[in-house]
């Protein structure tokens, strides 16, 4: 396995919980309110939202 993982995050705006991939190459938005949760930075996700838990 490469060092990628799933991250459980809390939306900073509406506190909806989402799971996103740490190597996501696209911008990830909250399903409920559309706030940006993570942006792509050089093939890795730069997580904007608060990380609640790291999942293997
Ligand atoms: Zn939200």
Residue 42 lies in a domain: yes
Average pLDDT over residues 5-24: 93
Burial zone of 41 (CB within 10 Å; 0-12 exposed, 13-18 middle, 19+ buried): exposed
CATH number of the domain to which 16 belongs: 2.20.25.100
Expressed as residue numbers, the domain containing 38 is 6-55
Residue 23 lies in a domain: yes
| Per-residue pLDDT at 45 | 84
How many domains does the chain fold into? 1
> How many angstroms is it from 50 CA to the middle of ligand 1?
12
Residue 30 lies in a domain: yes
> How many angstroms is it from 16 CA to the middle of ligand 1?
5
| Per-residue pLDDT at 54 | 94
pLDDT at 31 over 90: yes
pLDDT tier at 2, thresholds 50, 70, 90: low
> How many angstroms is it from 13 CA to the middle of ligand 1?
5
Residue 1 lies in a domain: no
CA-closest candidate to residue 24, choices 48, 52, 13, 50: 48
Average pLDDT over residues 16-45: 91
């Amino acid at each position: 396995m490469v060092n990628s993982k799933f991250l459980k995050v809390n939306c900073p705006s509406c506190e909806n919980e989402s799971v996103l991939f740490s190597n996501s190459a696209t911008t990830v938005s909250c399903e409920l309110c559309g706030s940006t949760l993570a942006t792509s930075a050089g093939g890795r996700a730069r997580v904007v939202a608060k990380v609640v838990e790291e999942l293997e």
